[in-house]
Amino acid sequence: MDISGRWRTIKERIASAEKRAGRPTGSVSLLAVTKTFGPEEVLAAYKAGQRDFGENRVQEWQGKAPFLPEDCRWHIIGRLQTNKVKYLDERVRLIHSLDRFPLLQALQTAGEKKGLIWPALLEVNIAGDEAKAGLAPEEVGDFLTAAADHSAVDIRGFMTIGPFAAPEAEMREVFRRLRLLRDETRARGIPGAAGLDALSMGMSRDFETAVEEGATIVRVGSLLFGERRQDDREEA
């Protein structure tokens, strides 16, 4: 099967999972993770109908984006270095990996300078995995309170990366806990928390489970584009 065939299959599998979970059709958006793949492969997905694309590294994105149609919506999903923030612009639809104060401040400064507001998700390390980026669940409330006076950053929800190669039940539990964290945070009345809607969770091996547990964005790379030659999942 080629990229457009795989794209259709993934879209159908998302739709079936939505149905199983009793969620409206179209409530979950597919983010095509294009890291390590070239403009031709991205364009094949674009031609199939895909518009949202996720990149891990700012420099790789900068090299690729000029070769692609202007209505591509780009998402930054990898650990974002503060010294790379200056390269971001209005093509960035959503930053999934806001995980620390210095990055919040760098985004504020760059946003003021460029006259942009960055839509962003807080990356949460649900499983407490030491090797992973992300705020601990108990840090989220204070982070949101601090972010409330950063007018150039608009926090829309949460993102998590599940444990690598964990059994399905364990993944499901991680996704469920991210959803509960969002619901509890909204209920706490922290400034800005009422607008927390997005849940970016689930990848190639577990996106259907994530949809069943409330994902609004699933991030799928290898199932759509094929195996990557190297795995650079955490870096920006």
Ligand X SMILES: *Cc1c(COP(=O)(O)O)cnc(C)c1O
Establish if 236 lies at the interface with ligand X (CB under 6 A): no
The CB-nearest residue to ligand X is 221
Q: Which of 131, 132, 121 is nearest to 181 (CA)?
A: 121
* Beta bridge pairs of residue 147: none
Give the Cα separation of 88 and 180 in Å (integer): 31
Nearer to ligand X, 30 or 107 (CB): 30
65 phi, psi to nearest 5 deg: -55, -40
Which residues within the stretch 56-95 sit at the binding site for ligand X (CB under 6 A)?
56, 77-78
**Nearest-angstrom CA–CA distance, 172 and 14:** 16
**Among 9-17, 172-180, 183-191, 216-224, the segment contacting ligand X (CB under 6 A):** 216-224
Out of 103, 122, 155, 203, which residue is the one contacting ligand X (CB under 6 A)? 203
Question: At its nearest, how many Å lie between ligand X and the CB of residue 62?
Answer: 17
Contact call for residue 214 and ligand X (CB under 6 A):
no
C-beta closer to ligand X: residue 30 or 144: 30
204 binds ligand X per the rule CB under 6 A: yes
Phi, psi of 114 (to 5 degrees): -95, -5
- The angle, 0 to 180 degrees and rounded to 10, between the axes of the packed helices 140-147 and 168-187 is 50
Task: Tell me which residues touch ligand X (CB under 6 A).
Answer: 33, 35, 56, 77-78, 161, 203-204, 219-223, 233
